[in-house]
Amino acid sequence: MDLQRLANIIEAALLAAGKPLSLDKLLALFPDDARPERQDIRQALERIRESCEGRSFELKEVASGFRLQIRQDYSEWISRLWEERPPRYSRALLETLALIAYKQPITRAEIEDVRGVSVSSHIIKTLQERGWVRVVGHRDVPGRPALYATTREFLDYFNLKGLDELPSLAEIRDIETINAELDLEPPGPVEEGGESGEGDEGMEAAGGEAESDTARAEVVAAPAGDGSVPVTEPDQTA
Strand partners, 67: 60
Q: So what's the pLDDT on residue 159?
A: 84
> Each residue of 195-221: pLDDT tens digit?
434 444 444 444 433 344 444 434 443
Q: CA-based Rg of the chain, rounded to a whole angstrom? A: 20
Backbone angles phi, psi at 132, to 5 degrees: -90, -25
Report the distance separating Cα 47 and Cα 196, nearest Å. 52
pLDDT at 190 over 60: no
Instruction: Domains for the chain: give ranges and CATH numbers.
Output: 3-81 (1.10.10.10), 91-230 (1.10.10.10)
Q: So what's the pLDDT on residue 173?
A: 54
> Each residue of 129-162: pLDDT tens digit?
999 999 999 999 898 999 999 999 999 888 888 8
Q: At what angle do helices 175-182 and 213-220 cross, to 10 degrees?
A: 170
Q: Is the dihedral of CA 170, 176, 182, 184 positive or negative?
A: positive
Of 30-34, 94-98, 164-168, 203-207, least confident by mean pLDDT is 203-207
